[in-house]
Amino acid sequence: MTSTTSTNPTGAGSSGPGPGQGPGSGSGPTFDPYDNTPELIPLRTAAQAGDWPAVRDYFAALDSVDELASATSLLADIPGVENFLERAAADQPADPLPRTLLAERYVYIGWDIRSGARAQHVSREQFGQFHDWLRRAEQILIEVCAEHPAYAPAWTARLMTARGLQLGQAEARRRYDRLAAHHPHHYRAQTQLLQQLCPKWSGSWDAAHGFARECATAAPDGSNAAALVALVHIEQWLDLPGGEGAAYMRGLPVRDDLRFAAQVSVLHPDHRPDWNSIGAHNAFAFAFSLGNHFADAAPHFASLGDRASEFPWQYLPDKKSAFLNFRKSALESRGGDTR
What digits encode the pLDDT tens for the residues 255-310?
Answer: 999 999 999 999 999 999 999 999 999 999 999 999 999 999 999 999 999 999 99
What would the pLDDT profile of 115-165 be if each residue is shown by its tens digit? Answer: 766 667 677 888 899 999 999 999 999 999 999 999 999 999 999 999 999
Question: What pLDDT, on a 0 to 100 scale, did the predictor assign at position 124?
Answer: 83
Q: Choose between 44 and 333: higher pLDDT.
A: 44
**Alpha-carbon span 150 to 155, nearest angstrom:** 8
Which phi and psi angles does 219 have, rounded to 5°?
Answer: -75, 155
Question: What pLDDT, on a 0 to 100 scale, did the predictor assign at position 14?
Answer: 43
Which phi and psi angles does 30 have, rounded to 5°?
Answer: -110, 135
pLDDT higher than threshold 50 for residue 2: no
By percentage, how much of the chain surpasses pLDDT 70? 89
pLDDT higher than threshold 90 for residue 179: yes
| Contact in structure between 298 and 284 (CB atoms under 8 Å) | no
55 shares its domain with 141: yes
**Alpha-carbon span 199 to 295, nearest angstrom:** 31
**Could you tell me the pLDDT band of residue 248, with boundaries at 50, 70 and 90?**
very high
pLDDT higher than threshold 80 for residue 235: yes
169 shares its domain with 50: yes
Q: What is the secondary structure of 190-208 as a DSSP string?
A: HHHHHHHHSGGGT--HHHH
This prediction's pTM: 0.90
142 shares its domain with 214: no
185 shares its domain with 223: no
211 shares its domain with 251: yes
By percentage, how much of the chain surpasses pLDDT 90? 85
| Contact in structure between 244 and 9 (CB atoms under 8 Å) | no
Question: What pLDDT, on a 0 to 100 scale, did the predictor assign at position 336?
Answer: 53
CATH number where 169 lies: 1.25.40.10
Nearest to 283 by CA among 309, 249, 244, 302: 309
Print burial letters for 275-299: b (CB count within 10 Å at least 16), e (below 16). Answer: bbbbbbbbbbbbbbbbbbbbebbbb
**Alpha-carbon span 54 to 43, nearest angstrom:** 8
Question: What pLDDT, on a 0 to 100 scale, did the predictor assign at position 295?
Answer: 98
Q: Which of 181, 199, 217 is the last residue of a domain?
A: 199
Which of 109-113, 258-262, 335-339 comes out lowest in average pLDDT?
335-339
Question: What's the average model confidence in pLDDT over 7-12?
Answer: 56
63 shares its domain with 143: yes
The per-residue pLDDT of the chain, averaged, comes to 91
274 shares its domain with 165: no
Which phi and psi angles does 207 have, rounded to 5°?
Answer: -65, -45
Question: What pLDDT, on a 0 to 100 scale, did the predictor assign at position 28?
Answer: 85
pLDDT higher than threshold 50 for residue 23: no
Run of H or E including 217: helix 205-218
Report the domain count for the chain: 2
Which domain does 181 fall in, by range?
37-199
Length reported for the chain = 339
